[in-house]
Amino acid sequence: MNSRAKSEALFAESLNHIPGGVNSPVRAFRGVGGQPFFAERAAGAHMWDVDGNEYIDYVGTWGPAILGHANPAIIEAIKQAADKGTSFGIPTEAEVRMARLVKACVPSVEKVRMVNSGTEACMSAIRVARGFTGRPKIIKFDGCYHGHADSLLVKAGSGALTCGHPDSAGVPPEFTAHTIVVPFNDEAAVREAFAANDGQVAGIILEPVPGNAGVYLPRKGFLEFLRDITAANDSLLIFDEVMTGFRVGLDGAQGRFSITPDLSCFGKIIGGGLPVGAFGGRAVLMDVLAPDGPVYQAGTLSGNPLAMAAGIAALEQLQSGEVYERLEALGAQLEAGINAAAKSAGVPVVTQRIGSMGCLFFTDHPVHNLADAMRADRERFKKYFHGMLAEGIYFAPSAFEAGFLSNAHTEADVDATVVAATKVMRIL
């Protein structure tokens, strides 16, 4: 590992111009201490910083890089689209192709609208739910993160949790008065929420596999329970698949768990690394949206041609290959190696994974919700993070995030990661 002198100089300069020196809080390394390196370039599963240090990357730009960085087909698609112009503000064929592609991959989506981030996708889906039902309340789960829209910054995960602001300043209590927060995997709490708000709940929004407080899985039957109780209460089930969509399978967590939500939110992978979000679902719900219906939602760059080209190139590759089988094998190899490394060092860990997304908790008990995740040893995580970074392995700089494999990772990359973990676990 060379010095990080150029990154340090850039960060010092950045602090003069950008809040916290970063354009998104979790990048500031506040969850692990120290300061971020500055990326110079990335290709495949590897990233190089401005000082020439090379890393095996398990952040994958927080999920989008499922095919690896600088994927040739995505780069070529962007170049060809850029030669025709970067934005038109009027419909393009690429938007129709993208919509048809999403519908082909995710059968619950009958109509879909493109936006520019996961935040926009989730806030818009909630507006559709409230507009269609005429009801004000939304149920969410603590530790789940659905972007930074005001009404959702309540016990939110990801950077909000990392930076200690799960209930953000600047959001008047009136803006979250209709957001009901309950623990994930807690059926009784969901029943109580409906009973206490009879006829008021527009819907439930959840990450079907939460990945913003580490990763934990729905208990057997929990998603089916949510599907049943929303239907029984004329409420809508909204799957935030910004992270799980096209990650845990071509048809996301809803396909993996055979649950049909009413609305779904997408982001990350769907843009191939460019700014794209989307939300979609039953046509009768989506038709409440302007210009047909009374629910307004808009975006200057929604359906941007470069972003569509990148996203289409990504999804078409995912549609065609055996990517998910390979990602499952790589995920299993990494998980087994990390567990063996921890066992050899006598360090209690719990690894939790679905396909190519997962996390490592320094704890000796399974994690089923935010409270469990909060009990894990964060000091040990910090040491592990920096120890691995020094070995050229870049995991998410927060105990409250997920790690991601890509189709560009090799078995050799995973072997090197396990060798590093075996060394680092011994000094925790």
Minimum CB–partner distance for residue 52 and ligand KE4 (Å): 25
Minimum CB–partner distance for residue 210 and ligand KE4 (Å): 8
**Residue 394 designated active-site:** no
Minimum CB–partner distance for residue 247 and ligand KE4 (Å): 10
* Residue nearer to ligand KE4 on the CB measure, 106 or 347: 106
**Which one from 58, 268, 394, 413 is the annotated catalytic residue?**
268
Contact 102, 112 (CB under 8 A): yes
**Residue 240 designated active-site:** yes
* Residue nearer to ligand KE4 on the CB measure, 206 or 318: 206
* Residue nearer to ligand KE4 on the CB measure, 207 or 251: 207
DSSP state of 44: B
* Residue nearer to ligand KE4 on the CB measure, 44 or 147: 147
Q: Which residues bind ligand KE4 (CB under 6 A)?
A: 24, 26, 62, 117-119, 122, 145-147, 158-159, 207, 211-212, 240, 242-243, 267, 277, 401
Minimum CB–partner distance for residue 266 and ligand KE4 (Å): 9
d(CA 385, CA 337): 16
**Which one from 55, 58, 140, 145 is the annotated catalytic residue?**
145
Size of the chain, expressed as the number of residues it contains? 428
Q: State the Cα angle at 109 between 108 and 115, rounded to 5°.
A: 145
**Residue 268 designated active-site:** yes
- The closest residue (CB) to ligand KE4 is 118
Q: For residue 179, give the 3-state DSSP assignment.
A: strand
* Six-digit token string for 248: 């845990």
* Six-digit token string for 225: 């329970």
* Residue nearer to ligand KE4 on the CB measure, 81 or 396: 396
Instruction: Give the start-end residues of each E strand in 11-80.
Output: 39-43, 46-49, 54-57
Half-sphere exposure of residue 138: CA atoms within 13 angstroms, side-chain side? 28
**Which one from 49, 51, 57, 240 is the annotated catalytic residue?**
240
Taking 3-state DSSP, the helix, strand and coil percentages for the chain, each rounded to the nearest 5, stand at: 40, 15, 45
For 139, the enclosing helix (H) or strand (E) is: strand 137-141
* Residue nearer to ligand KE4 on the CB measure, 147 or 166: 147
Minimum CB–partner distance for residue 248 and ligand KE4 (Å): 12
Q: Where do runs of H (alpha helix) occur along 258-345? A: 283-286, 305-320, 323-345
d(CA 410, CA 238): 35
* Residue nearer to ligand KE4 on the CB measure, 164 or 346: 164
Minimum CB–partner distance for residue 195 and ligand KE4 (Å): 28
Q: For residue 201, give the 3-state DSSP assignment.
A: strand
Residue whose C-alpha is closest to residue 62's, from 372, 377, 357: 357
d(CA 304, CA 302): 5
Minimum CB–partner distance for residue 241 and ligand KE4 (Å): 8
Q: Where do runs of H (alpha helix) occur along 234-295? A: 252-256, 283-286
- Residues with a known catalytic role: 145, 240, 268
